């Protein structure tokens, strides 16, 4: 399954463009990077992948629409999977995008 192109466009509309913002196809989805650090992605499995402060990740998990990202059978600390159903409007999507972008901006830029 390919990533949701409509969701990718909604994300694109919410991220302020700049020289440090790039898009890259990763893991079958479309990732949005800030300074080379992935912030959010339209997932090939549907929904959104969001990078968050690992210290805050557990508090955001609700076990239904927000869950830890699992890769290779293991939970990825600081990465969340948000279902499409949990992103009904741009206000909700903006909250998640802003969270991911904010965390990615707090990290040192990759060269």
For residue 59, is it within any domain?
yes
Q: What would the pLDDT profile of 9-52 be if each residue is shown by its tens digit?
A: 999 999 999 999 999 999 889 999 999 999 999 999 999 999 99
How many domains does one find in the chain? 1
pTM to 2 decimal places:
0.93
Question: Residue 49's domain spans which residues?
Answer: 5-106
Query: What percentage of the chain has pLDDT greater than the value 70?
Result: 99
Question: Would you call 86 exposed, middle or buried from its count of C-beta atoms within 10 A (0-12, 13-18, 19+)?
Answer: middle
For residue 53, is it within any domain?
yes
CB 90 within 8 A of CB 10: yes
Question: What pLDDT sits at residue 71?
Answer: 85
Q: Assign 111 a pLDDT band (cuts: 50, 70, 90).
A: confident
């Amino acid at each position: 399954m390919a990533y949701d192109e409509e969701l990718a466009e909604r994300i694109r509309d919410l991220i302020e463009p700049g020289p440090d913002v790039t898009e890259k196809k990763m893991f079958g989805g479309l990732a949005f990077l800030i300074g080379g650090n992935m912030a959010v992605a339209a997932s090939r499995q549907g929904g959104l992948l969001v990078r968050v402060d690992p210290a805050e990740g557990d508090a955001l998990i609700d076990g239904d629409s927000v869950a830890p990202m699992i890769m290779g059978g293991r939970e990825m600390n600081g990465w969340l999977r948000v279902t499409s159903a949990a992103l009904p409007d741009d206000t909700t999507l903006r909250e998640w995008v802003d969270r991911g972008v904010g965390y990615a901006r707090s990290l040192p830029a990759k060269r």
